[in-house]
């Protein structure tokens, strides 16, 4: 059959009409699927599945059209083959009809074939659970146009709340706050920002406040073209800012032509009864939580959240903020009262808003710190089900897996957090902390260097970097980092670490002075009291002070264990304090309990060795140190350690440290990895 006869057969059997009808029907079906799949809550690949089905059905329809005809009598075999004339002229309508069929086929393929390309990520697609093929946007800090610099909190807070609202919409991909806020006050082109954040649109704006009156401008820019998609200006009083957030979020959604599900639509139509002054206090509190996590900033944040709740008692976000602030205070100072009040605040926030991602994250961290790992994982999973790009949920879940000693899950979650927030120091810090605490110092150092470059004003960042350098035997680089840390701020951690360096250098009086300063800054941290007591025992005439410090350390340590009985490190440390006070039976009981817990870290094993040494059980002390070294504790540090002076007569200990060059007595900290990383 030649080409002319084949074309004649196509026309005779109606194949081209079937092709045209099929393409038109497929086009309509795909349009309907594209519009209604988000509204019906179908998975993001629903349209792709429809496209695959129609693509598979196309050749089947053509084959059936070739073989059968649909007549009034039903489906019958196609008529016999036609014999074309020697010169067959194709009529113009037929040619146009054939071209229309080809055009329809090509247009469907062009517009939808990209959905079938493996691994292709549409605008804003990222790893870690972020949905692909959805519009993406980054929300930048709103510029402060008010007369005072102290008004920056207003623009930052408004932008953050809009970002949080948009990130709860499952139909959008939204860059994390810490990633977009990294570019605050930086002279970077919007296109560069969009490329680095992997988004197609950027929302920016400004805020000007005059008394209770606020003027807000906002604009949405398509970064590929640089054109403004939408802009608006609003004049509101402070009490109207909550509703304004929803107005701006709705405008962004409409401009991006996003069809929202019913659940997402409800998030943009909530009614608020929050007093203006309460909301202002809330924004102040959030501003302090965005700062470096030191005691003064956290205290200010908690104070502002309390004031917000005094005015508006049912303000769920303020309860969540109070929970965050109190929990972070507890992690620094170990005050049981902060933990208990934080737990109550979290529960109250959850009662008021069961869809708040921030509340589940705060609850997850609270359960993690208290050793309730199963409940912590449930809370973080709830947060991720509401927002698959919730970086803090990945961080919290990863840290929970670390506490549960599940390395593969730790690296998976924390690496995802780093990928989602490539310009946020906190995600790098968590991963570095995991490597540090598991003795993988070489892997921690580049991450800590990244932390220091992203957060150069953080004393903790430089302190941690110095600790890592020291643990790999680079005291010169360690000293430089520590000096920079102390220059930033003399925190309780940095003072304690300086005390450790002086202790190992044999400068006992100076070490005691640093520990006393650390205790003044963090009077409910049992570890600092313990270090102080251990040091004072070596100073003639201060034995009574040493006993009081160790008793205080025991009381505070027991409070910690009441909150988290699974804290094996705390058990080992408290056991060493009890041993120093001659309370051997209590010390042994705690050491036995620690064995039953099944948790092992080189730091816990170190403190077990200290306790066994004080108890005179030298064989068990050396065994604990051998295990600590196997987990990564540097052997060179042991020969400097005054706590093991009595072990140096033990042959196994001598064998353990033989052939090592003691590091210069610059500093070494057994508390590394326990509360070191914010």
Cα separation, 165 vs 270, whole angstroms: 11
Q: Which two tokens stand for residue 86?
A: 């020697």
Taking the chain, what is the end-to-end CA distance rounded to the nearest angstrom?
A: 78
Helices (H), 372-454: 373-386, 391-403, 407-420, 425-437, 441-454
Confirm if 563 and 331 have CB atoms less than 8 A apart. Answer: no
Q: 295-322: per-residue pLDDT in tens?
A: 788 999 999 999 999 999 998 889 989 9
* pLDDT for 676: 37
β-sheet bridge partners, residue 137: 174, 201
Q: Which of 93, 107, 18 lies closest to 57, judged by CA?
A: 18
Assign 186 a pLDDT band (cuts: 50, 70, 90).
confident
* pLDDT for 661: 52
Confirm if 631 and 601 have CB atoms less than 8 A apart. Answer: yes
More confidently predicted of 365 and 21:
365
More confidently predicted of 132 and 564:
564
Least confident of 24-28, 115-119, 395-399: 115-119
Assign 594 a pLDDT band (cuts: 50, 70, 90).
low
Pairing of strands 201-210, 143-144: parallel
* pLDDT for 212: 75
Least confident of 250-264, 527-541, 554-568: 250-264
Q: 307-360: per-residue pLDDT in tens?
A: 999 999 998 889 989 998 998 888 877 788 898 899 899 999 989 888 778 788
Q: Output Rg (C-alpha) for the chain, integer angstroms.
A: 33
Angle between helices 584-597 and 602-615 (to 10 degrees): 150
* pLDDT for 128: 39
Average pLDDT over residues 387-401: 89
Give pTM, 2 decimals. Answer: 0.59
Confirm if 198 and 136 have CB atoms less than 8 A apart. Answer: yes
Element (H, E) at 236: strand 227-237
Instruction: State yes or no: pLDDT of 106 exceeds 60.
Output: no
β-sheet bridge partners, residue 215: 208, 235
Q: Which of 154, 155, 175 lies closest to 164, judged by CA?
A: 175
Instruction: Assign 635 to helix, strand or coil.
Output: helix
Q: For a pLDDT cut of 90, what percent of the chain falls above it?
A: 23
Q: Which of 180, 178, 109 lies closest to 138, judged by CA?
A: 180
Confirm if 398 and 418 have CB atoms less than 8 A apart. Answer: no
Instruction: State yes or no: pLDDT of 554 exceeds 80.
Output: yes
DSSP annotation of 247 reads H
Task: Please report the domains of the chain, with CATH numbers, ordered by start residue.
Answer: 3-116 (no CATH), 136-267 (3.40.50.10070), 526-657 (1.25.40.10)
* pLDDT for 107: 57
Confirm if 49 and 116 have CB atoms less than 8 A apart. Answer: no
Q: Using CA atoms of 179, 182, 183, 186 in order, give the dihedral in degrees to the nearest 10.
A: -160
Greatest alpha-carbon span in the chain: 123
* pLDDT for 390: 83
Cα separation, 218 vs 206, whole angstroms: 7
Cα separation, 158 vs 175, whole angstroms: 16
Q: Which two tokens stand for residue 97?
A: 């009809």
* pLDDT for 72: 43
* pLDDT for 670: 36
Confirm if 196 and 283 have CB atoms less than 8 A apart. Answer: no
Instruction: State yes or no: pLDDT of 527 exceeds 90.
Output: yes
Cα separation, 180 vs 424, whole angstroms: 9
Cα separation, 563 vs 519, whole angstroms: 21
Confirm if 546 and 536 have CB atoms less than 8 A apart. Answer: yes
CA distances from 363 to 132, 288, 381, 567 (A): 29, 20, 11, 19
Instruction: State yes or no: pLDDT of 473 exceeds 60.
Output: yes
Cα separation, 187 vs 219, whole angstroms: 18
Cα separation, 350 vs 448, whole angstroms: 35
* pLDDT for 612: 95
Assign 673 a pLDDT band (cuts: 50, 70, 90).
very low
CA distances from 212 to 218, 230, 238, 277, 364 (A): 19, 27, 6, 9, 37
Q: Which of 468, 390, 401, 403 lies closest to 429, judged by CA?
A: 468
Q: 405-454: per-residue pLDDT in tens?
A: 888 899 999 999 888 777 777 888 889 988 888 888 889 999 999 888 87
* pLDDT for 640: 73
Q: Name the burial class of residue 406, with classes exposed (0-12), middle (13-18) and buried (19+) by CB atoms within 10 angstroms of its CB.
A: middle
Instruction: State yes or no: pLDDT of 237 exceeds 60.
Output: yes
Cα separation, 256 vs 247, whole angstroms: 14
- State residue 182 phi and psi, 5-degree precision: -60, -30
Confirm if 354 and 384 have CB atoms less than 8 A apart. Answer: no
Confirm if 568 and 594 have CB atoms less than 8 A apart. Answer: yes
Share the mean pLDDT of the chain: 78
């Amino acid at each position: 059959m030649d080409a002319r006869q084949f074309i004649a057969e196509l026309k005779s059997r109606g194949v081209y009409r079937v092709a045209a009808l099929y393409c038109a029907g497929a086009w309509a079906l795909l349009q309907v699927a594209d519009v209604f799949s988000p509204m019906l809550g179908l998975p993001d690949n629903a349209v792709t599945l429809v496209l695959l089905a129609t693509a598979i059905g196309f050749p089947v329809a053509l084959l059936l059209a070739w073989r059968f005809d649909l007549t009034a009598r039903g489906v019958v075999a196609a008529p016999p083959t036609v014999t074309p004339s020697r010169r067959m002229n194709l009529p113009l309508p037929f040619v146009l009809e054939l071209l229309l069929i080809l055009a329809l086929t090509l247009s469907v393929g062009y517009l939808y074939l990209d959905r079938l390309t493996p691994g292709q990520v549409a605008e804003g697609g990222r790893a870690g659970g972020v949905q692909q093929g959805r519009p993406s946007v980054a929300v930048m800090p709103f510029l402060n146009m008010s007369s005072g610099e102290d008004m920056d909190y207003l623009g930052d807070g408004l932008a953050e709340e809009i970002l949080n609202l948009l990130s709860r919409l499952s139909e959008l991909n939204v860059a994390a706050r810490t990633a977009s806020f990294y570019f605050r006050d930086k002279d970077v082109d919007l296109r560069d920002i969009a490329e680095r954040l992997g988004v197609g649109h950027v929302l920016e704006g400004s805020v000007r406040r005059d008394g209770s009156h606020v003027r807000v401008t906002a604009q949405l820019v398509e970064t590929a073209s640089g054109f403004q998609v939408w802009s608006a200006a609003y004049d509101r009083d402070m009490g109207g800012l909550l509703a304004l957030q929803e107005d701006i979020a709705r405008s962004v959604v409409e401009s991006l032509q996003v069809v929202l599900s019913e659940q997402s639509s409800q998030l943009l139509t909530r009614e608020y009864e929050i007093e203006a002054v309460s909301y202002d206090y809330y924004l102040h509190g959030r501003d302090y939580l965005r700062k470096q996590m030191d005691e003064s900033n956290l205290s200010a944040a908690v104070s502002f959240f309390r004031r917000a709740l005094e005015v508006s008692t049912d303000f769920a976000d303020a309860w969540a903020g109070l929970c965050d602030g109190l929990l972070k205070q507890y992690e620094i100072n170990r005050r049981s009262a902060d933990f208990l009040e934080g737990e109550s605040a979290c529960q109250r926030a959850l009662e008021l808003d069961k869809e708040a991602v921030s509340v589940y994250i705060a609850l997850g961290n609270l359960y993690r710190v208290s050793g309730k790992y199963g409940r912590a994982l449930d809370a973080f999973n709830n947060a991720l089900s509401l927002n698959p790009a919730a970086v803090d949920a990945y961080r919290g879940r990863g840290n929970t897996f670390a506490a549960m000693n599940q390395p593969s899950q730790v690296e998976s979650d924390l690496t995802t957090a780093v990928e989602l927030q490539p310009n946020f120091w906190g995600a790098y810090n968590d991963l570095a902390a995991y490597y540090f605490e598991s003795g993988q110092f070489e892997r921690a150092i580049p991450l800590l260097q990244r932390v220091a470059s992203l957060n150069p004003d953080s004393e903790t960042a430089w302190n941690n970097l110095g600790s890592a350098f020291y643990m790999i035997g680079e005291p010169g680089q360690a000293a430089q980092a520590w000096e920079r840390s102390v220059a930033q701020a003399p925190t309780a951690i940095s003072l304690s670490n300086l005390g450790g360096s002086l202790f190992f250098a044999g400068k006992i009086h100076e070490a005691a002075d640093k520990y006393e300063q650390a205790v003044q800054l963090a009077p409910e941290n049992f570890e600092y009291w313990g270090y102080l007591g251990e040091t004072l025992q070596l100073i003639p005439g201060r034995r009574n002070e040493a006993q009081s410090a160790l008793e205080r350390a025991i009381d505070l340590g027991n409070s910690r264990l009441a909150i988290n009985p699974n804290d094996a490190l705390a058990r080992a440390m408290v056991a060493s304090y009890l041993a120093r006070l001659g309370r051997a039976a209590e010390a042994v009981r705690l050491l036995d309990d620690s064995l039953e817990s099944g948790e092992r870290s080189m730091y816990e094993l170190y403190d077990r060795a200290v306790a066994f040494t004080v108890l005179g059980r030298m064989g068990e002390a050396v065994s604990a140190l051998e295990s600590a070294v196997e987990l990564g504790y540097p052997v060179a540090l042991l020969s400097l350690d005054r706590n093991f002076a009595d072990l140096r007569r033990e042959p196994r200990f001598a064998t353990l440290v033989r052939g090592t060059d003691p590091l210069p007595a610059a500093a070494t900290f057994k508390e590394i990895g326990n509360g070191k990383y914010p």
